[in-house]
Amino acid sequence: MQRTRFGDMACSIARTLDVIGEPWSPLILRDVYVGLTRFDQLQQDLGISRKVLAERLKWLVESGVLARRQYSERPPRFEYTLTDKGTELCDLLLVMVRWGDRWLAGEAGPPVLYRHHACGEIAHVEPSCSACGEPMRATDVDVLPGPGHAG
Amino acid sequence: MQRTRFGDMACSIARTLDVIGEPWSPLILRDVYVGLTRFDQLQQDLGISRKVLAERLKWLVESGVLARRQYSERPPRFEYTLTDKGTELCDLLLVMVRWGDRWLAGEAGPPVLYRHHACGEIAHVEPSCSACGEPMRATDVDVLPGPGHAG
DNA sequence: GCTCAAAGGTTCCCTCAAGGAACTCATCGT
DNA sequence: ACGATGAGTTCCTTGAGGGAACCTTTGAGC
């Protein structure tokens, strides 16, 4: 298939997709986030092919999103944990959850709820502006070329 | 390949991936968001195969993310526009931008900047809590089963 | 000591989706 | 009449995903 690599594009969306855009990668991230950290746990929970899982984990570790840690010397046993980079990537998952809950959940309602530590409420994420704190949606911004713009 | 469908999983992340998880889909969404709305515009900007582009557009329209609108009767000409559902999905893009800017942009800095209408500042999105307005990151929440939970 | 199971992958083959180019069809400009 | 444009569609080739079997090291049970 010789899939097109997005990493070289001058676009942070494309570069982010290069890291977690491949099938299964966000679900692997989700599972590690909720505490499924071992190879067989992931494989069984997701029903993913072992081959593809090995490829994805390798790539996520190379990308600095996950760390492969040996938690037992003998027998050798490994677990995958989130790095800081990977933890921040989980913000993306919460936004996906929000959209999926809102537009795809249907009658049954959200499959999973999130309670915010700070206030104790069941809530969801709202994108807000880093400068003024007001809501910041795609319709609330102007798009301008930045310093890393190509050409 | 008979790629695994994620739409049936009881997980809003998986369901969201079912809509925009395939290669190119988020980049198509980005392009439509910034105003590239016609087939040939998209094809040239992305360098995507025309076949795959046609498939993706069809799926995004079926999913209610894009609308296919005929803006010229003779000759027949079409454009793809964001629905409300699609516009809200663009929030996801802003979060991807944020992460890519922060972790992947390198020396050159962000390729694109975003100015918030409300305050006029160059800013980025921060996930905040819908209930209390405080920051809401992946580490700030407890995960609980919801009404749509399987089993 | 021998057998079995578990963890963590690796190897193999098969199918189907992505890439890429060529082709279609209707309409416009000249 | 001729070429260009927009919007796809068709065809072939390649390679990634699925699935199952296999491998290696270790620990547990008999």
Does the beta-carbon distance from A130 to B114 stay under 8 Å? no
Residue of A72 and B141 predicted with greater confidence: B141
So where are chain A's domains? Answer: 12-140
Instruction: With beta carbons less than 8 A apart as the criterion, state whether B19 and B13 touch.
Output: no
Q: Is strand D less than 7 A from the beta carbon of A1?
A: yes
Strands A112-116 and B66-72, how do they pair? unpaired
Residues of B in contact with A96 (CB under 8 A): 12-13, 16-17, 92
* Rounded alpha-carbon distances, angstroms, from residue B62 to A13, A18, A75, B13, B56: 23, 26, 51, 19, 10
Chain A nearest-CA residue for B131: A123
pLDDT tens profile B79-116: 999 999 999 999 999 999 999 999 998 888 999 999 99
pLDDT of residue B58: 95
Mean predicted lDDT score pLDDT of chain B: 92
Which mean pLDDT values do the consecutive 10-residue runs of chain B (151 residues) have? Answer: 76 94 94 94 93 95 94 85 97 96 91 96 97 96 89 57
Report the alpha-carbon distance of residue B123 to residue A77 in Å, rounded: 43
Q: Is strand D less than 7 A from the beta carbon of A24?
A: yes
* Rounded alpha-carbon distances, angstroms, from residue B126 to A45, B111, B148: 31, 19, 28
pLDDT of residue B60: 96
* Structure tokens given for B131: 């209930």
CATH topology of domain A12-140: Arc Repressor Mutant, subunit A (1.10.10)
pLDDT tens profile A12-30: 999 999 999 998 999 999 9
pLDDT of residue B30: 95
Residues with CB under 7 A from strand C: A 1-4, 38-41, 50-51, 54, 57, 68, 75-79; B 1-3, 22-24, 47-52, 55, 74-76
Residues with Cβ within 8 Å of A129's Cβ and at least 6 positions away in sequence, in order, are A135, A136, A140, B116, B118, B119, B121, B123, B125, B126
Using the predicted structure, report yes or no on whether residue A1 has a pLDDT greater than 50.
no
Residues of A in contact with B104 (CB under 8 A): 12, 15-16, 19
Three-point CA angle A13, A15, A17, nearest 5°: 70
Residues of B in contact with A140 (CB under 8 A): 116-118
Chain C footprint bases within 7 A of protein beta carbons: 6-12, 15-22, 26-28
pLDDT of residue B1: 42
Is the pTM value of this prediction over 0.75? yes
Residue of A150 and B93 predicted with greater confidence: B93
CB pairs under 8 A between A and B: 307
Nucleotide with C1' nearest the A51 CA: C10
Q: Which of A23, A26, A129 sits opposite B123 (nearest CB)?
A: A129
Does the beta-carbon distance from A12 to B141 stay under 8 Å? no
Reference A127, options B6, B13, B99, B81; nearest CA is B99
Reference A102, options B67, B130, B24; nearest CA is B130
Instruction: With beta carbons less than 8 A apart as the criterion, state whether A45 and A33 touch.
Output: no
Residue of B121 and A3 predicted with greater confidence: B121
